[in-house]
Copies of this chain bind each other. A is one copy, B any other.
Amino acid sequence: MQIIAESKLFAGTHQHIRHHSPATQCPMECAVFIPHGNAPDACLIFLSGLTSTWENATTKAGAQIHAARANMALIFPDTSPRGDGVPDAEQFWLGQGAGFYVDATEPPWAPHFSMESYITRDLPVLFAEAIGKPLPPLGIMGYSMGGHGALTLAMKHPAQFASLSAMSPISSVTQSAWGQQALTTYLGKNSKNHETHDATLLMASRGWHSDILIDQGLEDEFLDEHLKPHLLAEAAARANIPLTLRQHEGYDHSYYFAASFIAGHIDWHAKRLKA
């Protein structure tokens, strides 16, 4: 683990880290925020959206001011493996910056594009190493493609995560053209292998052990074509899983939306992780 840069931030520490990932078999970068005192009561993973690196949410979401107050650590992973030896594609919804939080099985994407294993297996170990002590209770949230990631990874790995939320998530990846093409590319044509990564379908098949918070802007330019949070909300209602879908008039898909509502997510996770 190599600390590339470190800055003091809200009396805590921001670190930009590079480390080898057994899952993706290449160097990965991420950022962490460790609140003052290096004894966080909780830790939250923030999964980012298409085209983002670890940096977008770190610098633009404004999460740290609230996390510092809650004594919560934050982990901001990258959205895919990167580098010269890693395959890429021209479309922004495929390849580097677009890992979709699955473990690819198809060439040339396997083995580097193993973001599911990276997030659920490698990152918690990395973070425990960064703070030099056992991991506090862990929550997961995400934005857009990262919202898809948070929802699906939590439902697939419920023992790992104690709390769950999403902003503007791709709520049914098999019903988004981006998602369909990405999953076909990474996992092959068999649609059975796609369904196990669809948040709405996972809600029906697996459910979730706790409650879920979703924020969604109603002027979001991708709402109808790619996000469709109502499908997830309906599936949660059928499965009797408490899901709060807050719909906000006038807000779009930018980080201005994420910044406007991040406080509610930090508080949501703090309340559940520190309970």
Residues of A within 8 A of B (CB): 7-11, 14, 59-60, 62, 64-65, 217, 219, 248, 250-252, 254-257, 259-260, 263
Asked whether B254 lies within 8 Å of A7 as measured between CB atoms, the reply is yes
Chain B residues in 8 Å Cβ range of A7: 251-252, 254, 256-257
Q: List 29 A-B contacts (CB under 8 A).
A: A7-B252, A7-B254, A7-B256, A8-B217, A8-B219, A8-B248, A8-B250, A8-B251, A8-B252, A8-B256, A8-B257, A8-B260, A9-B256, A9-B257, A9-B259, A9-B260, A10-B259, A10-B260, A11-B260, A14-B256, A59-B59, A59-B60, A59-B255, A60-B60, A62-B62, A62-B259, A64-B259, A65-B65, A65-B259
List 14 additional A-B contacts (Cβ < 8 Å) besides A10-B259, A64-B259: A7-B252, A7-B254, A8-B217, A8-B250, A8-B251, A8-B252, A8-B260, A9-B257, A11-B260, A14-B256, A59-B59, A59-B60, A62-B62, A62-B65
Chain B residues in 8 Å Cβ range of A252: 7-8
Chain B residues in 8 Å Cβ range of A259: 9-10, 62, 64-65
Chain B residues in 8 Å Cβ range of A254: 7
CB distance from A162 to the nearest CB of B (A): 27
Chain B residues in 8 Å Cβ range of A60: 59-60
**A219-B8 Cα distance, complex, nearest whole Å:** 9
CB distance from A270 to the nearest CB of B (A): 17
Residue picked from A8, A64, A250, most chain B C-beta under 10 Å = A8
Chain B residues in 8 Å Cβ range of A64: 259
